[in-house]
Amino acid sequence: MSVYHQGSLAVQDRLGVRDLADHVGRSIGEGIKPVAAAFLGLQPLLVAGAADPATGRVWAAPLAGPPGFVRATGPRQISVSGPVPAASPLAAALATEGAPVGTIALDPRTRRRMRLNGRLRPTPGGLAIEADRVFANCPKYLQRRETYETVPDRRPGEPLTAPELSDAQARFLTAADTFFLASVHQGGADASHRGGNPGFVRVDSPRELSWADYPGNSMFLSLGNLAADPRAGLLFLDWTTGTALHLTGEARTEFAPERRVRFTLSEAREIPAAVPLRWSAPEYSPANPGRP
């Protein structure tokens, strides 16, 4: 049985990479291997993607804590300790029994990342996720940030919500080198990473932005999800101040003259100081197109 649904298969066929995708797809499993469990236990940041149970809008949002706040508690389960911030656009979804959720743990220090998707269960101390797919990605387009520090007195500010981007937010997006993409399909959710040199995200209007889809592992999980269900959530982090800019809307893929994803905004939610982490300056990935 294929690990891919019809959306991903359609994109793979369109681009002629079905055989390669079948080979790469063998890396997708249900279990958390010891090396993956050790990796999770070192991370201070986890990004989750899911759909709000009331509105259906898809969001990506950060969860942060001291290393060990995310840990494997069984061969197919992780736990996340600590409350979900009340201002998070995923607060309701991450309190919903059985909600599909996608997660990505990304370590800028080592350019490693791990994705785990499954079903959520609220717990007294946080939440647990029963995995139905676990896999790693290559380090392409991932900027290295060698160190981080926790800012103990940093507290999230009041959310700023609007139906379109402000000029300051547009400048922030065009200066970004990293963002996270949440997408969904029937019965599942996914969170993935996108990266490039500053300018790889283009703001085309206050309600539309786009980015080039660079070659990756040929599985096309995210683009496959968007082909089946255009709802999407984007998360942009300020790696110094901890500010999180959450965007929700719909995305579609243009395949010519270049492969490009175009995102139409429904709502922007900016949360100052949302993440208590301050990272060092980036060293851009050698895989980034157009690198200096």
Give me the residue label for tokens 């200066």.
175
CA distances (Å), origin 92, targets 37, 72, 250, 265, 266: 27, 23, 20, 21, 18
**Each residue's pLDDT tens digit, 77-114:** 999 999 999 999 999 999 999 999 999 999 999 999 99
State pLDDT tens for residues 235-255.
Answer: 999 999 999 999 999 999 999
Instruction: Decide if pLDDT at 258 tops 80.
Output: yes
Is the preceding peptide bond at 286 cis, omega within 30 degrees of 0? no
Residues 278-290: what's their mean pLDDT? 95
The H or E element spanning position 18 is helix 18-24
pTM of full prediction above 0.85: yes
Tokens of 31: 């279990």
pLDDT at 5: 87
Query: Rounded to an integer, what distance in angstroms lies between the CA atom of residue 30 and that of residue 118?
Result: 9
Going by the DSSP 8-state scheme, the letter that residue 224 receives in this structure is: H
What are the structural domain ranges in the chain? 6-279
Output helix, strand, coil percentages for the chain, rounded to the nearest 5.
15, 40, 40
Helices (H) and strands (E) in the chain, counts: 5, 17
Q: What is the per-residue pLDDT across 33-84, written as a single tens digit (0 to 9) for each? A: 999 999 999 999 999 999 999 999 999 999 999 999 999 999 999 999 999 9
Q: Which fold has domain 6-279?
A: Pnp Oxidase; Chain A (2.30.110)
